[in-house]
Structure 1
Amino acid sequence: MRGLALAMCRSSSTVRTTPQNILVPASGIATNEGLKSPRQFGADLGAALDRLLGHPTRVARLIGAVTGDEVRAGLTEAARYGAVVHASGPLDHPEHPGADLRSPLLVRLGAQDDRVYAREWPGPVAFLVVTDSTSRSLAVFRRTVSRHGALFAAVRSTDPLVLAAVETAALDAGVHLTENLADDVPADPASAVADLPGADARFVTAQFRVVRSRWHAPALNPAGAPVTGSGEPVGA
């Protein structure tokens, strides 16, 4: 939750640098605290956002100032389409009292509301999209990214078959993927494409594409024994 909240706060005004669509199955998510329904998931995420933005110094490091009416209008418009899970409100900057800083907006939608979440929303707007199942989430992910593009995608699952299916979908759609990374969702949105001249596969060339999938993987110490590390395999 903290990693996702952190990623949602890294808004740079008009640029879509934060997660926009968060796909959660209606049946809920199994956790070490029991099954979490989409409503509980949204409440926990909202609480994580509030904790993260509870200190002015942290706000100044995370949130970019709103500089255009397009973002302000988008925050107002997006809140009309569904249940507001976390409202967007003004935040104080310790050094620039006149800066217009807004906390992330999180709105709960259904999978059928693709006319809303399939478009790009500038600024700190995010949607908690409740789907019939993980399979439906995967179909929504593949369709929206293939048709509209994305800078990055992230998945969290304990099922290796789900992880494999999402990686295949990401490679087919042409988007960088992080798998089961906590505080790196991604930690810096630009890090998903740091080595490439553009964002997803569409911005490189029509003749070839390079996208990456990142996940934690065991590394070997000099003696050959496994130690905790991280892997960054490349899919092309």
Structure 2
Amino acid sequence: MSQQAQQLLDRHRETLDRAVEAISTRGVWSPYPESLKKYPEEAVKGAPQRFEALLKQPFALKVTEVAGQVGAEVSPYGFELGITYAQPEQGALIASMQAAMPAWRDVGAEARVGVCLEILARLNALSPDIAQAVTHTSGQAPMMAFQAGGPHAQDRGLEAVAYAWQAMSRVPATAKWVKPQGKHDPLVLDKRYHIVPRGISLVVACSTFPTWNTYPGLFASLATGNPVILKPHPAAILPVAMTARVAQEVLEEAGFDPCLVSLMPDTAEAPVTKELALDPAVKLIDFTGSNAFGEWLEQNATQAQVFTEKAGINSVIIDSVEQIKPVAQNLAFSLSLYSGQMCTTPQAIYVPREGIKTAEGQLSFDEVADTLAKAVEKFLSDNDRACAVLGAIQSPATEARIDKSRALGEILLDSEPRQHTQFPRARIHTPLLLKVDAGQRDAFSEERFGPISFVIATDSTAHSIQLAREVIGAKGAITLGAYTTDDAVAEQFEQLAMEVAAPLSLNLDGGVFVNQSAAFSDFHATGGNPAANASLCDQAYVARRFVVVQSRRHGQLN
């Protein structure tokens, strides 16, 4: 191991040990503060100016051979970024990475993990700047962009490093194999075990969570010895480019080829992902995005291990509640947060048509639906708070989807545009809430990405469970929420969760929400239903990124 890499591991050893402990105990822990008050005042106050300094010019990165310049990002808050990025020549990039991989492989797990930990530490220090980039590419509101794009994304990256370290450190470097032979001398073999990376890793980033969904694949692959090509969404390149630059700086300082982590930007008009994904040298692919492209990767990139997080029908089943008001308030936040542009946002809310029991008496279906609609309306009644929660609609296609979805059911709460005081051209829309009958399955059993949800009248809670089982079984889900005051029904929900392999959130009515996922404690997705074929993060997510190659030779007893 190089001296620099050893120093990096020593510097961050406590963090690594705590992370390994955290993935075993699953409690609350993070080394990265989620409060801006914990960061230097200058770093926070100066972030907008540093962001503006990046605009309308090329972004500097190490590139093997430049094929051209790309970049046409437009902030969902209403202005062009004007940043261009060098697009590497694909053949030269692949060849360069293949040439650099043996040194990165042979340096060993400790060195690679030390480098990854230093990259994460520097990304954490850069969190206020990354928040600006995430805001003006994804449309996330500033506080969410800071937390989800900064420390929470870094948590997920560190979680992947911890699992990778755990998996690699369980393989001994050497062993002496001695088999007794009775009267004869024993058989003695000296064995060596090598952690061998699979090959080049392609991480395909999404536009809505360009760091949170990217860091697990990036760090799981890099820690296990695989060079990484970061392929950002054309609408959200900057946060991924900033990440690549930090990684390159640390790699170079530690004595490695900086292009072990490289950016491959493209345009919507000339995409490169399919060509990259089918390159024989690409052995790992991480993808977050649409069902159609995720399934294409799974079916066609057969030379690679493919990890996909796609879309599903996130569901909430309401059987009974103590009080409807805190439940409605909790769901109102979940439906409003980032305008429903989260892979965890509820879409299908099942309620028996005869209504539900509460401690305050029976509530009809319409009363439940109206209470939920009014809770959303009240929560977003203050425009400044609404803009701070909703953020902006990332894509014009989502804006158009809201309009088209109005015809799918009876409107309980219509989506309305909002004016941002600082960015008057921002795309901001409140949630659309529709009432439908269980028979209108075509309406609610397709993913409607964005602030679009359905309150579904069912024959009973048993019918709600059956519908959820069928829809999630066919389309998948990342989250499942449920409400009941009956322990027997709660057990039915627990069984449903296991049957459809969707994590259950039961009776949330306080400060925890169904669409939030905590690193080191919550497994994000399960890999057990059509919404995702992997979980962020577990042993299976990292162990498939390397193989163990052994050698053996005759040895001598000591």
TM-score of the aligned structures, taking structure 1 as reference length = 0.79
Aligned CA distance change for structure 1 residues 192 and 131 (closer, same or farther; 3 Å): farther
Partners of 2:512 and 2:501 lie apart in 1 by: 18
Between Structure 1 and Structure 2, the one with more helix by share is 2
**Is the CA contact 1:7–1:185 (under 8 Å) kept in the aligned structure 2?**
no
**Is the CA contact 1:29–1:37 (under 8 Å) kept in the aligned structure 2?**
yes
Aligned CA distance change for structure 1 residues 15 and 154 (closer, same or farther; 3 Å): closer
Aligned CA distance change for structure 1 residues 51 and 196 (closer, same or farther; 3 Å): closer
Q: 1:181 pairs with 503, 508, 519, which one? A: 508
Aligned residues: 207
Partners of 1:163 and 1:196 lie apart in 2 by: 20
Partners of 1:25 and 1:15 lie apart in 2 by: 26
Partners of 2:403 and 2:512 lie apart in 1 by: 26
**Is the CA contact 2:339–2:429 (under 8 Å) kept in the aligned structure 1?**
no
Deviations 1:5-29 (A, max 9, x none): 0100013565444210000001101
For 1:34-49, what aligned pairs fall within 5 Å after superposition? 34-49=361-376
Corresponding position of 2:352: 25
Corresponding position of 1:92: 419
Q: Does 1:155 align with 2:482?
A: yes
Partners of 1:78 and 1:193 lie apart in 2 by: 34
Q: 1:134 pairs with 456, 461, 485, which one? A: 461
Unaligned runs of 5+ in 1: 211-236
Q: 1:124 pairs with 434, 451, 454, which one? A: 451
Deviations 1:194-225 (A, max 9, x none): 656752333327xx999xxxxxxxxxxxxxxx
Deviation at 1:39, TM superposition (A): 1.1
SS at match of 1:101: coil
Larger RCO of the pair (alpha carbons < 8 Å, separation 6+) = 1
**Is the CA contact 1:56–1:94 (under 8 Å) kept in the aligned structure 2?**
no
Which one has the largest radius of gyration? 2
Aligned CA distance change for structure 1 residues 174 and 185 (closer, same or farther; 3 Å): farther
Q: 1:191 pairs with 517, 520, 525, which one? A: 517
SS at match of 1:19: coil
Partners of 2:539 and 2:511 lie apart in 1 by: 24
Code of the aligned partner of 2:517: S
SS at match of 1:85: strand
For 1:29-108, what aligned pairs fall within 5 Å after superposition? 29-108=356-435
Aligned CA distance change for structure 1 residues 179 and 108 (closer, same or farther; 3 Å): same
Q: Please tell me the root mean square deviation across aligned C-alpha atoms, in Å.
A: 2.4
Aligned CA distance change for structure 1 residues 209 and 170 (closer, same or farther; 3 Å): farther
Corresponding position of 2:438: 111
Partners of 1:194 and 1:77 lie apart in 2 by: 39
Partners of 1:198 and 1:76 lie apart in 2 by: 31
Aligned CA distance change for structure 1 residues 80 and 6 (closer, same or farther; 3 Å): same
Q: 1:170 pairs with 476, 489, 497, which one? A: 497
**Is the CA contact 1:151–1:192 (under 8 Å) kept in the aligned structure 2?**
no
Q: Does 1:204 align with 2:530?
A: no
**Is the CA contact 1:201–1:209 (under 8 Å) kept in the aligned structure 2?**
no
Unaligned runs of 5+ in 2: 1-327, 541-558
SS at match of 2:407: coil
